[in-house]
Structure 1
Amino acid sequence: MFKFDTLCHKTLLCLNPLTFSPVSQNLLPFSLHFCTNTSNSSSFAVSYLIHNFGFSPLFANKLCSTYSVKFKTAQNPDSVLAFFTNHGFSKTQLHNMIAKAPWLLSCDPIKRVLPKFQFFLSKGASNSDIVNLLSKNPTVLCASLENQIVPTYELADRFLQSHKDTFACVNQSSSFFADSAVPHNISLLIENGVTDSNIAALLRRQSRLFNRRDFLKVVGELMDLGFNPSQSYFSIALVAKASVKKTLWKEKVDTFKKWGWSDEDVLEAFRKQPHCMLTSIDKINLVMSFWVNDLGWDAMAIAKRPRVLGASLERRIKPRASVLQYLLNKGLLKKNASLTSPFVHSDKLFHDRYIKHYKEESSYLLKLYKEKLNLAHVGDKTDVS
């Protein structure tokens, strides 16, 4: 780890929030324990990493070799560390950051780092927001502010229309503003007619997808399946197609087929409700088992209305099923009545149509419903405890 001794034989410049000012020697936290006059810049850099960060000689050598880290004195690396320390970076954060980007020790923090700090601060990011971003992915500092970071930020902000939401893109993808694939993929969606609202939804929920190099292929696959880029489901389909690995996708298809669906049934369900392929295999089996084995209903009904799979089994499906079963047993529902519609209705519409509508039975129906709902709440409390 870091070693903090008094720096000898030199004066460093220490940065306050936005400008450098001279500081006393004994205020600086970083120093070497040996003479700084050496002709071998590579070996000096290796020694600096070993003594100041506790890296092993092997790892320090690898970093210097891989990133061509060279400096002959401690003046510049010490000023870099002083800059980051004054901006709130902890010892651990600096240790991890230098392990990922040792070239920072050779940079000019006023030219390379400060303008990026100032830009993000001007957009409403807090100092701690910037510290968290850079400590996770210091390669953001590699990117050109004018040619990469600013254009990418402004393009994302065009859809999100919120500095807070735009900066939040880095929560999922720390390289979001530094990756050239991001503006390319956003432009790709625009060119293919994806609506602004869909793009905004993707940026808010799955900004990491914009780092993908096969974005065009995924979009093309969805278009071939008949998805309309102007529809709201397109963004969900894109998330599903891009985030579910092929092996897991096949496992989910096989799970549906186990319950009597065909390959075409699965595709049709995906077209209707893309979220069904984001449902876990365990959830699929639990819902289908309850539907088929406990209720005795046809699994193909869910294939035609896959939105049912997105409902909570305990808090929605079971309580509502208890009401429907009673109505069916009493002959109060029409024989051709949809068994899936009640599970996608709002709470108010469900109560109006399936509880309040049957005035003589409404008290008992409400009791049935609440009993199942209370069991779900008890289960929630048990899970929490």
Structure 2
Amino acid sequence: MFCRRRLLLHIRKIPGDGANPLQSIPGAIHLAHNYFSTAVSSVPNSELYPATVSYLISCGLSPAAAAATATTQKNRNLSSDKADAARALLRDYGFTDADIVRTVRGAMSILSVDPERILRPKLDFFASLGFEPRKIASEPFLLARSLDKHLVPSIQFLRGIIGSDDDLRRAFSRAPRALMADVDKNMRPAVEALRRCGLTEEAISKLLVIHMGMLMASPDRIREVFEELKAIGMRIPDSRFLYCFRAMCSAKRGTWRRKLELFQSFGASEGEVLEAFKTQPSILLSTDDILKQKVRFFLDELKLGISDIMSRPVIIAYSLERCILPRCAVLSVLMREGRIQRDDIKLPQALLGNSKIFSARFVLRYADDVPDVAKAYEGKIKFEGFV
């Protein structure tokens, strides 16, 4: 194959004079024909599996998604009877149509297995643990893993670390993908690394409930994160340590330094950024573009100072579109109607808190006299700045 590619590269360099340049090379036409025929035939084509694509569309996949799924899965030829039985079984266990679409798109192979012999025992197992179907659907290849060789040993190992099944359910719901990790290759080495770094059994259990995805981190990466946290003054006894560890371990190498420089570019000091991270570790997991958009909005539109933002970093974790902008629109309506004054409220405090508190304070309280507050809260009136 390598020699063929070299020959074709040389062929492309031959200048054309109107004649077929391959004719000057003995056997080249035959060789090129065979090469390109092989290359084309090796590319999966959804047109070769029209019945499968049609069936996937009937499951709820878009034509494009059905074609992509049919050409990227190993088992491309489906038995409609067996596939129908698999879908019916998923419904019996509480999978919605949306869950089934997500499951089929991610693991079409489950439509090809014996539903009663292969699929039902796994669904029974997950149901006995109380795992939600929508969470299983988010990582559908779990249904393709061996029950006896992978799923049962993994749950037994996790039970020994996490303890109660209630905590196990919480851990799974937050990171279903972690259950794909191999016990001996991933889970056990990660837990042993956490122990060597100084975490107690109780702390390890709590960490896995916070984010079971830690089990997919390599021992080397775990040691690196401990060193990084130590370098910024974060110690294990600090109640915030596990949350900072989770964020740091989930981020790519070099992310912390890049985020520090980003906030400093807006005028924040290194100390302010450090304290903001310790208070709200999730700011490390936002993309640079989203962080820039939020900080620029707070500075330019709300006229907050960078110190105001860094002292209450939870505001950075709020969704700009779904939370901050609707709340700003409500406050703007109330200012326009003279019900509150800009100096009467303190930003960002007024924007913080759960939706029930904000709604009771600024929406329900004024809804009868100022109907626009409800419209603003629903996003029907856009925020265009404070009066």
TM-score w.r.t. the length of structure 2 is 0.53
Partners of 1:250 and 1:79 lie apart in 2 by 51
Q: CA RMSD in A?
A: 4.4
Q: Is the 8 A contact 1:45 1:69 kept in 2?
A: no
Partners of 2:314 and 2:83 lie apart in 1 by 55
Q: 1:140 aligns with which of 139, 142, 152?
A: 142
Equivalent residue number for residue 70 of structure 2? 64
Q: Is the 8 A contact 2:107 2:144 kept in 1?
A: no
Q: Tell me the CA shift for residue 68 of structure 1.
A: 2.0
Equivalent residue number for residue 7 of structure 1? none
Partners of 2:272 and 2:308 lie apart in 1 by 19
Greater CA deviation, 61-70 or 238-247?
238-247
Partners of 1:91 and 1:378 lie apart in 2 by 37
Q: 2:248 aligns with which of 221, 235, 241?
A: 241
Q: Tell me the CA shift for residue 236 of structure 1.
A: 3.6
Q: 1:113 aligns with which of 106, 115, 119?
A: 119
Amino acid in the other structure paired with 1:168: R
Equivalent residue number for residue 48 of structure 1? 55
Equivalent residue number for residue 338 of structure 1? none
Ranges in structure 1 where 5+ consecutive residues have no aligned partner: 1-39, 292-307, 314-370
Q: 2:193 aligns with which of 183, 188, 197?
A: 188
TM-score w.r.t. the length of structure 1 is 0.53
Q: Does 1:250 align with 2:258?
A: yes
Partners of 1:75 and 1:132 lie apart in 2 by 24
Equivalent residue number for residue 177 of structure 2? 175
Q: Is the 8 A contact 2:59 2:101 kept in 1?
A: no
Write out aligned runs for 1:288-303 (5 A): 289=307
1:10-59 superposed Cα distances (whole Å, 9 cap, x missing partner): xxxxxxxxxxxxxxxxxxxxxxxxxxxxxx99454334324454542x54
Among the aligned pairs, what percent are the same residue? Answer: 17
Q: Tell me the CA shift for residue 255 of structure 1.
A: 4.2
Q: Is the 8 A contact 1:240 1:277 kept in 2?
A: no
Secondary structure of 2:134's counterpart equals helix
Q: 1:95 aligns with which of 90, 97, 101?
A: 101
Cα 1:193–1:51 shift into 2, 3 Å:
same
Equivalent residue number for residue 297 of structure 1? none
Equivalent residue number for residue 208 of structure 2? 203
Q: Tell me the CA shift for residue 216 of structure 1.
A: 2.5
Q: Tell me the CA shift for residue 163 of structure 1.
A: 0.3
Partners of 2:101 and 2:262 lie apart in 1 by 47
Cα 1:152–1:186 shift into 2, 3 Å:
farther
Q: Is the 8 A contact 1:202 1:235 kept in 2?
A: yes
Q: Is the 8 A contact 1:279 1:310 kept in 2?
A: no
Q: Tell me the CA shift for residue 95 of structure 1.
A: 2.2
Partners of 1:114 and 1:376 lie apart in 2 by 51
Amino acid in the other structure paired with 1:152: S
**How many residues align structurally?**
261
Q: Does 1:220 align with 2:228?
A: no
